[in-house]
Amino acid sequence: MLSRRNLVSAAWALAAGNHPSLKLFFEAASADDREAAPALQELARLWRPGYTAMVVDLTRILSQLGGAARDPAQSTDRVVDRLVRFLEERTRRTMGRNVGAWQRWMWELPYEPHPDFGEFKGLVYAGIDPRMRNFFPPGVESRIRLDRIDWGGVRVNGIPPLRNPKTTPAREATYLKDNHIVFGIAAKGEARAYPKRILAWHEMAIDRVGGPGFDDCVLHIVRDGDPLSEPGPQVWHQRIAV
């Protein structure tokens, strides 16, 4: 229960534009209740709706990476449940561990993140792969909502690009049917067609087209849904950078 003094203190902090340190969020996710309890109390005192994404990130990554613990007191499930209860108390929403529901709800809110949210995401994702921290350099202004950036389930370079693939003349590509989708490019009289059924497993092809003097061509496919299913309207988007 917050005292009147704490409420006044919290109002003063908000008026001054103060934000909790990133350390508090990580302490709140500690398996040690003695460390987590005061951190959660301080976060509650300074709480803003824009912090929802930070707690959701912690619960999402801990749920994905957590394993069984010999000591129940060290269980990741306990930590996740604690964070979810805290989030539900602060937002007055009951969505449990349904990350998708939390995300849809917070995306409807005005985007007013913690000023160090980018650095926070880098630290959280570094728990998956230390190289991911480089994707969120501190002090860099973002032009997009960082709460819409989510882990796709693989580590850095976990999906290897298709590099300088061997090619087959079109007349010999008998494994393709007329209704199969290919992504094509032509430069200086040379052409390439990259079958979707192959590229879907790599998501990016790096190849040289057009002979000497022509820069490398990167074909980047952003997909949504089954990688082998034929796409509907606006499901697939291709970016060809030359």
Instruction: Concatenate the DSSP letters of all residues of 147-216 into one string.
Output: GG----SS-TT-S--EES-----GGG-TT--TT--EEEEEETTEEEEEEHHHHTTTSEEEE--SSTTS--
- Are 57 and 121 a contacting pair, CB within 8 Å? yes
Q: Is 178 a domain residue?
A: yes
Q: How many CB atoms lie within 10 A of CB 39?
A: 20
Please check whether residues 79 and 106 belong to one and the same domain. Answer: yes
User: Dihedrals φ, ψ of 240, to 5°?
Assistant: -110, 115
Please check whether residues 67 and 134 belong to one and the same domain. Answer: yes
Please check whether residues 11 and 94 belong to one and the same domain. Answer: yes
Q: Is 155 a domain residue?
A: no
Residue 239 confidence (pLDDT) above 50: no
- Are 53 and 106 a contacting pair, CB within 8 Å? yes
CA distance 192 to 46: 56
* Chain mean position to CA 159: 16
Please check whether residues 47 and 118 belong to one and the same domain. Answer: yes
Please check whether residues 32 and 142 belong to one and the same domain. Answer: yes
CA distance 19 to 56: 18
Among 148, 175, 193, the domain-final residue is 148
Q: Is 80 a domain residue?
A: yes
Count of the separate structural domains present in the chain? 2
- DSSP bridge partners of 185: 192
Q: Is 227 a domain residue?
A: yes
Residue 42 confidence (pLDDT) above 70: yes
Tokens at 162, concatenated: 């298709």
Q: Which long-range contacts (CB under 8 A, 24 or more apart) does 226-233 make?
A: 227/200, 227/201, 228/197, 228/200, 230/179, 230/181, 231/181
Mean of per-residue pLDDT scores for the chain: 79
Please check whether residues 27 and 66 belong to one and the same domain. Answer: yes
* Chain mean position to CA 202: 19
Please check whether residues 177 and 143 belong to one and the same domain. Answer: no
Please check whether residues 192 and 84 belong to one and the same domain. Answer: no
- For 157-168, b where at least 16 C-beta lie within 10 A, e where not — what string? eeeebbeeeeee
Please check whether residues 141 and 231 belong to one and the same domain. Answer: no
User: Dihedrals φ, ψ of 38, to 5°?
Assistant: -65, -30
Q: Which residue has the higher pLDDT, 40 or 170?
A: 40
Residue 211 confidence (pLDDT) above 80: no
Please check whether residues 69 and 124 belong to one and the same domain. Answer: yes
- Are 180 and 223 a contacting pair, CB within 8 Å? no
Q: Is 157 a domain residue?
A: no
Indicate the residue type of 114: H
Q: Is 188 a domain residue?
A: yes
Please check whether residues 102 and 21 belong to one and the same domain. Answer: yes
205-211: average pLDDT: 78
Among 126, 148, 170, the domain-final residue is 148
Give tens-digit pLDDT for 52-95.
999 999 999 998 876 544 444 457 899 999 999 999 999 999 99
Among 118, 148, 178, the domain-final residue is 148
Which range of residues forms the domain containing residue 196? 162-241
What's residue 218's pLDDT?
Answer: 55
Distant-in-sequence, close-in-space partners of 124: CB < 8 Å, separation ≥ 6 = 57, 58, 61
Q: Is 13 a domain residue?
A: yes
> Residue 163's pLDDT band (boundaries 50, 70, 90)?
confident
Please check whether residues 142 and 195 belong to one and the same domain. Answer: no
DSSP structure class, residue 70: S
